[in-house]
Amino acid sequence: MPDSVSPVSFPPSFLWGAATSAYQIEGAVREGGRTPSIWDTFSRTPGRTAGGETGDIAVDHYHRYRDDVALMAELGLGAYRFSVSWSRVQPTGRGPAVQVGLDFYRRLVDELLERGIKPAVTLYHWDLPQELEDAGGWPERDTALRFAEYAQLVGEALGDRVEQWITLNEPWCSAFLGYGSGVHAPGRTDPVASLRAAHHLNLAHGLGVSALRAVLPARARIAVSLNSSVVRPLSQDPADLAAARRIDDLANGVFHGPMLHGAYPETLFAATASLTDWSYVLDGDVRTIHAPVDALGLNYYTPALVSAAPGEVQGPRADGHGASDHSPWPGADDVLFHQSPGDRTAMGWSIDPTGLYDLLMRYSREAPGLPLYITENGAAYDDKPEPDGSVHDPERIAYLHGHLAEVRRALADGADVRGYYLWSLMDNFEWAYGYDKRFGAVYVDYATLERTPKSSARWYAEAARTGVLPPVEPAV
């Protein structure tokens, strides 16, 4: 159980961390035997990313990891969540591991531990080896089996030094943005494939948990990170409530149903019956997916506001997930998304910290007794250096203060929240947005790759040091 909670301060055991992902920061895409992932292929396809930008160099963390870990230590981080590049470790997605690939992560983990920073390993953050996509990708069952083998390889290599493990990051994005709307790699636009992918990602999680349990010491803790959506109806009209329920099933129930409760929502099956009979869910699958976990990671940025549409919705949707003529919401073409009121980040996402509180309290009810971590939360702004080279980002400080205050409120109201990972440690390759959107607490000059902590990084460091939220820096 967490420490006793003060209405002002965070518990002494509260974990203060930051997060990144492999393709967004590592670069070195052709070194050490690494082969292309779906994001290498996607980013090299004309028109897929802003300016045709790729993660070929990213912020060169592969070569600069020691300096980056030193910076984490300077900021007083207690934990660092990073992902492993599957194709760096197992280039074809099959067979034995490439030791030089694993050695990079061994060195990174050793560096973190020497600095007193707890490593948290995410096994999959969207970068499927291209060879597995060529064989069918996540809509195919075999990909889940391959993931379990990969999980075992990484677990065997790092399990003696890493206690915190995450199987998948945001499987919703992998399934529905990758195979439904096509705004993420691999860029396919097939609603049935997106639902098949969701199930096989779930299966990969369950198989991955079992594979890790077989090779990790008993002290290891295994979780999954879901970008569970806070779905709010535009009104209390029954049609709007039904629309919100349908989106909640597609955003949340499709994953937490089998993972936490051992069953898919029947309402999800009914809403997608015109697309699929779900016959790819085989006997025993849900039992496998329901493998017990030690914690639940929740990623939160903004709530969703929905209503029933008067007719079929055509073209791009204001759902905050990129413009596409194809929907990431299979079976929900009669649901309309609305911009929530209030200020917005550079992503166009509304700022509503109460959504994080609602999310934490919901999962306190959905999974009583399961520790919760915020594994991503943060904001993109158009940060620019001052003439003296410093970078001031009072908007991000206000964003973090608001959201962390809601975490503290959830703690006070009984939620078992054990830690918070800021997204992101530093500016990086922001997927289809290229290098246009800056989420980092550390500014990166993309021409020189020089790192400069923003004022939000110093603010966050003070919060981590004291367990008390410092005042919000006034905007200039």
Yes or no: say if 118 and 18 are a contact pair by the CB < 8 Å rule. Answer: no
Give the integer Cα–Cα distance in Å for 429 and 24.
Answer: 5
Sheet hosting strand 231-233, strand order edge to edge: 231-233, 304-308, 335-338
Report how far apart, in Å, the C-alpha atoms of 389 and of each of 69, 250, 448, 474 are: 22, 45, 13, 19
Report how far apart, in Å, the C-alpha atoms of 415 and of each of 47, 292, 366 are: 44, 19, 11
* β 442-444/451-453 pair status: antiparallel
Give the integer Cα–Cα distance in Å for 147 and 426.
Answer: 28
Give the integer Cα–Cα distance in Å for 34 and 182.
Answer: 25
Residue that has been written with the tokens 């970008």 in this structure: 227
Yes or no: say if 377 and 351 are a contact pair by the CB < 8 Å rule. Answer: no
* Burial of 30 (C-beta count, 10 Å sphere; 0-12/13-18/19+): exposed
Apex CA 85: angle with CA 213 and CA 200, to 5°? Answer: 60
3-state helix/strand/coil string of 250-261: HHHHHHHHHHHH
Instruction: For residue 44, count other CB atoms closer than 10 A to its CB.
Output: 13
* β 304-308/335-338 pair status: antiparallel
DSSP 381-394: B-----TTS----H
| Active site annotation includes 376 | yes
Give the integer Cα–Cα distance in Å for 256 and 262.
Answer: 9
Instruction: For residue 433, count other CB atoms closer than 10 A to its CB.
Output: 18
Residues 435, 436, 439, 443: is their CA dihedral positive or negative?
A: positive
Catalytic, out of 26, 140, 170, 473:
170
What three-state secondary structure class fits 169? strand
Yes or no: say if 295 and 223 are a contact pair by the CB < 8 Å rule. Answer: yes
Catalytic, out of 140, 376, 430, 473:
376
- The token duo for 133 is 């996509």
Residues in the chain: 476
DSSP 8-state secondary structure symbol assigned to residue 306:
E
- The token duo for 407 is 């975490």
Active site residues: 170, 376
